[in-house]
Amino acid sequence: MSKDYTFNPGDFVVYPAHGVGQVKEIQQTAVAGQNLDLIAINFNKDKMMLRIPLDRAQKTGLRRVADASVMDSAVHTLKGKAKIKRIQWSKRSQEYLSKINSGDPIATAEVLRDLYKNPAISEQTYSERQIYEQALGRFASEYAVVNKLNESEAAAKVESILQSKSSSSKSSLS
Give me the residue spans of the domains in the chain: 12-64, 68-173
Asked whether the predicted pLDDT for residue 9 surpasses 90, the reply is yes
Domain 68-173, classified CATH 2.170.190.11, yes or no? no
Query: If you average pLDDT over residues 167-172, what whole number do you get?
Result: 50
Asked whether the predicted pLDDT for residue 167 surpasses 90, the reply is no
Tens digits of residue pLDDT in 90-130: 999 999 999 999 999 999 999 999 999 877 677 888 999 99
Full-model pTM: 0.85
Ramachandran angles phi, psi of 133, nearest 5°:
-65, -40
Asked whether the predicted pLDDT for residue 68 surpasses 80, the reply is yes
DSSP 148: T
Asked whether the predicted pLDDT for residue 4 surpasses 60, the reply is no
Mark residue 22 as left, alpha or beta (left: phi above 0; alpha: psi -120 to 50; beta: remaining).
beta
Ramachandran angles phi, psi of 146, nearest 5°:
-65, -40
Query: If you average pLDDT over residues 6-23, what whole number do you get?
Result: 92
Query: If you average pLDDT over residues 16-40, what whole number do you get?
Result: 90
Percentage helix, strand, coil, to 5, in the chain?
Answer: 50, 20, 30
For residue 62, the model assigns a pLDDT of: 92
Which fold is adopted by the domain 12-64?
Thrombin, subunit H (2.40.10)
Sheet hosting strand 63-64, strand order edge to edge: 48-53, 34-43, 19-31, 12-15, 63-64
Tens digits of residue pLDDT in 119-159: 767 788 899 999 999 999 999 999 999 999 999 999 999 99
Model confidence band, residue 46 (pLDDT cutoffs 50, 70, 90): confident
For residue 170, the model assigns a pLDDT of: 47
Tens digits of residue pLDDT in 75-89: 999 999 988 888 999
Query: If you average pLDDT over residues 10-27, what whole number do you get?
Result: 92
